[in-house]
Every structure is written in structure tokens, then in C-alpha cells.
A and B are shown apart, each in its own frame.
Chain A
Amino acid sequence: MRSLQDLFRRKPTIETEVDEELTFHVDMQTRDYESQGISRERSRAMAESRFGNVSQIKKECVRIGSGNKFLIWILDALFMMSLVTGLLLRLFGPEMHVNRVGDVMMMIGGLGILLVYAKQCGANVFNSTSHKPLGLNTPPVGFDEKGRTPFDRVRSDD
């Protein structure tokens, strides 16, 4: 049911998504600084400075994210064309063998569109245990059983 709702809901543009994500990051960092007793304005400035060049990063993310969506758009368009052409051949094809070609094209188009959407939905579906609190206040997690990062391991090998 949720996947059906997602299918018909108007999808936000990649720009909006990136913007919202980066704004969330800077807002969270600002809140973190504020909780340390720093003024709101100073916290905001520190968070923005720590983040780096927002507009350049946004542009880069949109460029990378668009590449992926463009490929999906191309695939969708190709399968849709196959479906429509197949349907036209099936309806208006003068001979039996042309009708059969139409059937095959309709099948390829329909299955292709289904697969593209299934892939998109499948890639975004999380199991119910994924929405756990992040536990940002817990002690840092190490990279191996002894809590060492790869860099610590290099140092300890020395």
C-alpha cells in the first residue's frame, strides 16, 4: 500500500532533496553548538564554517544524484515507447505476425516498467528495525573488536 502511495505521490526534485539534507545537517550542528552554551548566531556561523562551501557541495551532489535519475528516466522512456508501439501494432496491425510482434513489444515494455519501479521501490525499502535512535550520545564505536580505528592499528604495528 505504501509503495502504491509512493508511486503516485509527486516526487521531489533532486535539488530539493539535497537542499533539505544539507540544511538538516547545518541545523543539527547549530543545535549542537547551542546546547554547549554558544549564542544562536555564533553557532550558526560555526556550523556553516565547519560544513564548508554549501553551494559547491550542493551542486556536486545534484550532479551525481541526477546521473542516476537520468538513467532511470531513459529506461522508463524506452520501455514506455516499447509498450505504446506494441499496443498500436496489436490494435492496428494488419496481419497476424505483426500482431505477434506487438504482443512481444507490449510484454517487454510492461515488464521493463514493472522491473524499473520494483527496483526503485526495493532500493528504498528499509526493514522496520532501521528507524532506531542514532545514539549520538553513546561512546564512539571503534572499528574493530578492541575499539581501534585503522589508523590506530597502523600506529600499534609500529
Chain B
Amino acid sequence: MRTNRTDIMQGTLELLILKTLSREPMHGYGIAQRIHQTVDDLLKVEDGSLYPALYRMEARGWIASEWGASENNRRAKFYKLTRAGRTQLDAQSVNWERVSRAVMRVLGAT
């Protein structure tokens, strides 16, 4: 297990959720698993912090939810990206690229 994990930056979690849901609808546990697998434990994402973010994003209309059956046939709440969410994902991705490029430029300056 890695020990040098970095706390996730504010606002980044929403981008990670949007991107994860852009592939397919998922329940909260599935989203958490997928994010953990993808970031390979480099980032510290507490599972519970996902849910307030999901509820906030649903209130903003970026995602929609529906109860369905999970892979082990239990009732689970599935989330999917809405059209507004897809627009938001594009905007946030562009912004993230710009910010990260700017920060790297500053860090790389001699």
C-alpha cells in the first residue's frame, strides 16, 4: 500500500465523478471503486465524501438517479450523467487542463 497519498483538492472530486459516470450509470459504491482503481491509491479519496458530492451534483442537475437492482440483486441507487452534466464535464476538464498547465509552468520556471 502506498503511504504518500495526497488529499484530493476541493472541486476535483466532482470532476472525477463526472468523468466516471460519462462511461455508464453506476451506483455510489461502483463509482468509489472505479475512482480508487483509476487513481491507483495516489489520491486519498474517503468513500463517504462521495455521497454529499453526489447529492450536490444531483441538486445542480448534473446527474440524475434511480433505484435499481445491483449486480448481487440488492436495491441500489444508480446515477447517470445528464446533458447539463456532460456540458459541465467538458467545461471542468478544459479548466483543469488550463490550471494544471499553468501550475506546471510556474513550477518548471527557473
Using CB atoms and an 8 Å cutoff, list the residues of chain A in contact with chain B. Answer: 17-18, 20-22, 24-25, 27-29, 31, 50-54, 57, 60-61, 64-65, 67-68, 123-126, 130-134, 136, 139-143, 149-151, 153-154, 157-158
Contacts and interface: CB of A to CB of B under 8 A. Distances in A.
Interface in B15-30: 15, 19-20, 23-30
B38 A157 contact: no
Closest 10 CB pairs of A and B: A52-B48, A140-B37, A64-B55, A57-B48, A134-B30, A28-B29, A60-B52, A154-B100, A130-B25, A140-B38
Interface string B76-110: 11101000000000000100110011011000100
A124 B68 CA distance: 11
Contacts of B1: none
Contact of A154 (B29, B43, B104): B104
Contact of A134 (B15, B71, B97): B71
Given A124-B66, A140-B34, A149-B39, A132 B59 contact: no
Interface residues of B, number: 52
Contact of B77 (A21, A140, A154): A21
A140 to B, nearest CB: 4
B34 A141 contact: yes
Given A136-B71, A157-B101, A21 B48 contact: no
A129 B104 CA distance: 41
Contacts of B15: 150
B2 interface: no
B13 interface: no
Contact of B58 (A68, A142, A153): A68
Contacts of B55: 60-61, 64-65
9 contacts: A20-B75, A64-B55, A64-B56, A126-B68, A126-B80, A130-B25, A134-B30, A151-B43, A158-B108
Nearest to B76: A24
Contact of B19 (A31, A140, A143): A143
A142 B104 contact: no
A65 B77 CA distance: 14
Contacts of B97: 150, 153
A126 B15 CA distance: 22
B74 A131 contact: no
B7 interface: no
A61 B51 contact: yes
Contacts of B38: 140-143, 149
